[in-house]
Amino acid sequence: MTPMIMKTMRKKMKNNPQHSKLNPESNKREYKLDKLK
């Protein structure tokens, strides 16, 4: 996966909570990053 695709995927996940549930691993990572902010 290229960095650009990763960025768009993250945007899609934030816009679509159901999508992030399908991918718990990345969801956990995103959650940790959000908490660090």
Model confidence over 1-37: pLDDT tens digits?
Answer: 577 877 887 777 676 655 545 556 666 666 676 776 5
Q: What is the pLDDT of residue 8?
A: 81
Q: What is the pLDDT of residue 33?
A: 66
First to last CA, the chain: 25
Residue 8 has φ and ψ, to the nearest 5°, of -65, -35
| Cβ neighbours of 20 (radius 10 Å) | 19
Q: What is the pLDDT of residue 11?
A: 78
Are the beta carbons of 13 and 23 closer than 8 angstroms? yes
Please state, in angstroms and rounded to a whole number, the distance separating the CA atoms of residues 16 and 7: 14
Q: Is the whole model's pTM more than 0.75, yes or no?
A: no
